Amino acid sequence: MKVDLYTKTILTGIFACLCLIVLRDVPLENPAEAQNRPQAATPVIITGCTNGVGGPIGSIPVWIKGRD
């Protein structure tokens, strides 16, 4: 018995739907976890945002107070 294109299409669709049903509860990434102890916000002092001649730079250098 020769399987026609219609039957192959229907079976492929059923297979795709079954895969979606099985994989919908699989997490794609790990959930974020909170730390056990609360921490205060870290104060940040921005030391500059230009390259010295007035042009923008790719990143802003920062200094974290209390950490050397």
Phi/psi of residue 56, nearest 5 degrees: -75, 155
The number of distinct structural domains making up the chain is 1
Residue whose entry in the numeric block shows the structure tokens 């050397």: 68
Q: In sequence order, what are the residues at sequence separation of 6 or more whose Cβ sits closer than 8 angstroms to the Cβ of residue 43?
A: 64, 65, 66
Q: Is residue 67 part of a domain?
A: yes
Please give the residue range of the domain that contains residue 65: 42-68
In DSSP terms, which residues pair with 56 in a beta bridge?
50
Predicted model pTM: 0.38
Write the pLDDT tens digit of every residue in 2-32.
Answer: 679 999 999 999 999 999 998 888 877 766 6
Instruction: With a cut of 70, say whether residue 48 has pLDDT above it.
Output: no
**Coil, helix or strand at residue 44:** strand
